[in-house]
């Protein structure tokens, strides 16, 4: 009775072939079928943004996308940010600016910021712009100040590069 689909998807540069039920969300597929549990689910109705991943260069809420929709696509998750064991500049900035506490929402903010920084590489990343960006997602621990500072600092450092 299950409506199953065979798909192929690239996650963090690695090709996967699998069979998913039509109703299975991209988030559940990543977490439970492929083992990328770094992507977290905070609301499953598209508000909190904890499940944000990058789908073909766009940040999306993986709870609002079906797994089958990622057929043939490239997905980046939080597990794909670091260079091996070396934190990326953005990840390091999150630690430096105390941008996380419990860490549950953190992967979503990282992927949101990563897509933003990639989309506009020369951006000044003003506090105001980044505050507006960050308002897309919810964090219940930090009050957002550290998250904003971390993204602004990364934008500035990348601009100088």
Partner 1 sequence: MSGWIGAAVPRKEDRRLLLGRGRFTGDLTRPGLLHAAFVRSPHAHARVGKIDGTAASQAPGVAHLFTAASLGYPCLHAMLERDEFVPTPMPVLAGDRVRFVGEPVAVVVADDAYRAEDAAELVEVDWDPQPAVASIEAASAAGAPRLHEEAGGNRLVDLLMFDDDRLPQIFAAAKATLSATFRSARVAALPLEGRACLAEWDDRDDQLVMYVSTQVPHQVRSGVAQALNMPERSIRVIAPDVGGGFGLKCVVGREEVAVAAAALRLRRPVRWTEDRQENLTAAFHGHEQRYQVTAAFDAEGRILGLDAEIDCDTGAYSAFPFTCAVEPLMAATELPGVYKVPAYRARGRAVATNKAPAAPYRGVSRPQIVMVMERLMEKAAATLRLDPLQVRRANLIGRDDFPYTGVNKITYDEGSYLESLDLAERRVAEQAWPAERDRCRQQGQRAGIGYACFSERTAYGTPAMSQRRMRMTPGYDTALVRMDPTGEVIVTTGTCGHGQGHETTFAQIVADRLGVHPDQVRLRQGDTDLASYGWGTWGSRSVVIGGGAAGRAAGILAGQLRKIAASQLEASPADIELAEGMARVRGDDTAAIAIPELARLAHFQAHRLAEDLRYALEARATFDPPGTFSNACHAAMVVIDPGTCAIRLHRYLVVEDCGVVINPVVVDGQVRGGVTQGAAAALLERVCFDAEGQPASATLMDYLAPTAAEMCAVDIVHLQTPSKFSETGAKGMGEGGTIGAPAAVLGAINDALSDTDVRFDHIPVLPHELSAALSQAGAPA
Residues that bind partner 1 (CB under 8 A): 1, 21, 23-24, 28, 31-32, 36-45, 47-48, 50, 77-79, 81-82, 87, 91, 94-96, 98, 100-107, 110, 131-132, 134-148
Please state, in angstroms and rounded to a whole number, the distance separating the CA atoms of residues 99 and 110: 10
- Residue 72 or 125: the one with the smaller Cβ distance to partner 1 is 125
Closest CB 152 distance from partner 1, rounded Å? 12
Q: Dihedral sign, CA of 77, 78, 79, 83?
A: positive
- Residue 9 or 53: the one with the smaller Cβ distance to partner 1 is 53
Closest CB 70 distance from partner 1, rounded Å? 18
Let me know: does 146 contact 99? Beta carbons within 8 Å: yes
Closest CB 130 distance from partner 1, rounded Å? 8
Tell me the CA end-to-end span of the chain in Å, nearest whole number.
Answer: 54
- Residue 4 or 72: the one with the smaller Cβ distance to partner 1 is 4
Closest CB 74 distance from partner 1, rounded Å? 17
Helical ranges in the chain per DSSP H? 26-28, 89-96, 106-119, 127-134, 145-160
């Amino acid at each position: 009775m299950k409506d199953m689909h065979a798909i192929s998807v690239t996650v963090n540069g690695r090709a996967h072939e699998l069979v998913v039920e039509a109703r299975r969300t991209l988030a559940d597929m990543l977490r439970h079928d492929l083992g990328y549990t770094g992507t977290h689910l905070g609301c499953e109705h598209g508000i909190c943004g904890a499940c944000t991943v990058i789908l073909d260069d766009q940040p999306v809420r993986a709870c609002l996308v079906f797994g089958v929709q990622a057929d043939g696509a490239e997905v980046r998750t939080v597990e794909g940010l670091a260079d091996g064991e070396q934190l990326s500049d953005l990840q390091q900035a999150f630690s430096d600016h105390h941008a996380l506490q419990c860490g549950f929402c953190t992967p979503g903010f990282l992927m949101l910021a990563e897509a933003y920084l990639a989309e506009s590489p020369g951006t000044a990343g003003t506090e105001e712009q980044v505050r507006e960006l960050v308002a897309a997602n919810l964090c219940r621990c930090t009050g957002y100040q550290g998250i904003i500072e971390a993204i602004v600092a990364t934008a500035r450092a990348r601009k100088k590069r």
